[in-house]
């Protein structure tokens, strides 16, 4: 496992050799959410899992940051790591960054995985919730995001059956810098709508939903997949939002099969 610090601000983990696969984490998480996918792919791919700025081990920005700037960071990282083209996967907030990347530099991505994400921008109510989250983060620290998100990330059954997963996930979320999460909340609140981008996507695309995901519900994701020509839409049963960690076996099987065909 290699660790890199790009431009003294961005932390990234790299494992394995082969065609590059970049996986972008969600909120309020970091590259560790992909541990099981890294393990499954590293025998055949160069798997790159960055921490978005302000999250995980990446520095907290001193001025506000947008989803477009997170995307610029990924392009900088690709240049610094000598990666001309890569397969790109985005989970939830990571999907919002993936949309921005496809707008900015479509020729640099050979295939796309969209997990538990949605193309629409936030409406007024969702923005207000993000503002409230930002205030809670200042009041209570990263625990505010953990408390709000944990019940939405995993099904009630999984939380009951897998206390170890709940524990490690809680540790990841509690380790975040509160202000980094404030930046992320505001960046998501004011992100661009990506609906018009969908019909322009021409690379092989895999769309993965969780059966019980209330943040990116399967019907919303199916509608999104229908607008991406030739995409494959898959639902992971008995899973909520955090499908890569909640059911890594099912998630990895889809991922491996897709990448095998997409990078052939
Ligand atoms: C995420 O999992 O990244 C967030 O739930 C996305 C969001 O809040 O829109």
Q: What is the pLDDT of residue 9?
A: 82
162 within some domain = no
**Distance (Å) from CA 95 to ligand 1 centroid:** 9
The closest residue, in CA terms, to atom 9 on ligand 1 is: 93
pTM: 0.97
Pairing outcome for strands 109-115 and 86-91: parallel
131 within some domain = no
Host H or E run for residue 258:
helix 248-262
Whether pLDDT at 264 is above 70: no
Q: What is the pLDDT of residue 88?
A: 98
Domain with residue 53: its CATH number is 3.40.50.1820
173 within some domain = no
Which residues contact ligand 1 via a Cβ below 6 A?
A: 26-27, 92-93, 188, 215
- The residue-averaged pLDDT of 39-50 equals 97
Q: What is the pLDDT of residue 263?
A: 72
Q: What is the pLDDT of residue 27?
A: 98
Domain tally for the chain? 1
Greater confidence (7 vs 76) lies with: 76
178 within some domain = no
In the chain the beta strands, taken as DSSP E runs, fall at 2-6, 10-15, 19-24, 45-50, 86-91, 109-115, 205-210, 232-236
What atom in ligand 1 is closest to the CA of residue 93? 3
* 141 three-class SS: coil
d(CA 176, CA 129): 20
pLDDT digits (tens, 9 = 90+) for 134-144: 999 999 999 99
**Distance (Å) from CA 216 to ligand 1 centroid:** 8
d(CA 220, CA 14): 32
- Domain span at residue 256 reads 2-120+193-262
Whether pLDDT at 112 is above 80: yes
Our measurement of the distance from residue 94's CA atom to the centroid of its chain's CA atoms, rounded to an integer in Å, reads: 3
Residues of 44-66 as b/e, b for ≥16 C-beta within 10 angstroms?
Answer: bbbbbbbbbbbbbbbbbbeeebb
**Distance (Å) from CA 118 to ligand 1 centroid:** 9
- The residue-averaged pLDDT of 232-238 equals 97
pLDDT digits (tens, 9 = 90+) for 117-134: 999 999 999 999 999 999
What atom in ligand 1 is closest to the CA of residue 130? 8
Longest dimension (CA), the chain: 50
Tell me the ipTM for this assembly.
0.96
251 within some domain = yes
Give the residue carrying structure tokens 């199916």. Answer: 222
What atom in ligand 1 is closest to the CA of residue 116? 2
**Distance (Å) from CA 96 to ligand 1 centroid:** 9
**Distance (Å) from CA 226 to ligand 1 centroid:** 22
- The residue-averaged pLDDT of 164-186 equals 97
What atom in ligand 1 is closest to the CA of residue 92? 3
Best residue among 92, 210, 220 to mutate for probing ligand 1, ranked by most atoms within 8 Å of CB? 92
pLDDT digits (tens, 9 = 90+) for 86-105: 999 999 999 999 999 999 99
Whether pLDDT at 7 is above 90: no
Q: What is the pLDDT of residue 4?
A: 73
Question: Chain-wide mean pLDDT for the chain?
Answer: 96
């Amino acid at each position: 496992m290699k660790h890199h610090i790009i431009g003294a601000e961005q932390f990234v983990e790299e494992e394995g050799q082969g065609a590059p696969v970049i996986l972008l984490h969600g909120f309020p998480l970091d590259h560790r959410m992909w541990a099981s996918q890294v393990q499954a792919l590293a025998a055949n791919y160069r798997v790159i899992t960055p921490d978005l700025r302000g999250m995980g081990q990446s520095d907290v920005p001193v001025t506000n940051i947008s989803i477009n700037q997170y995307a610029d960071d990924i392009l900088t990282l690709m240049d610094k790591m000598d990666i001309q083209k890569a397969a790109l996967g985005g989970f939830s907030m990571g999907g919002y960054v993936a949309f921005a990347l496809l707008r900015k530099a479509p020729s640099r991505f050979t295939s796309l995985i969209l997990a538990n994400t949605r193309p629409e921008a936030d409406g007024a109510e969702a923005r207000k919730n993000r503002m409230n989250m930002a205030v809670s983060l200042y009041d209570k620290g990263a625990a505010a995001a953990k408390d709000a998100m944990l019940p939405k990330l995993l099904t009630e059954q999984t939380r009951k059956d897998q206390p170890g997963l709940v524990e490690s996930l809680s540790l990841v979320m509690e380790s975040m810098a509160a202000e980094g999460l404030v930046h992320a909340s505001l960046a998501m609140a004011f992100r661009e709508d990506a609906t018009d981008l969908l019909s322009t996507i021409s690379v092989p695309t895999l769309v993965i939903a969780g059966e019980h995901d209330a943040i990116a519900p399967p019907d919303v994701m199916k509608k999104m997949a229908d607008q991406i020509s030739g995409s494959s839409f898959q639902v992971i049963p008995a899973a909520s939002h955090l499908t890569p960690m909640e059911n890594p076996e099912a998630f990895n099987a889809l991922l491996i099969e897709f990448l095998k065909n997409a990078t052939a």
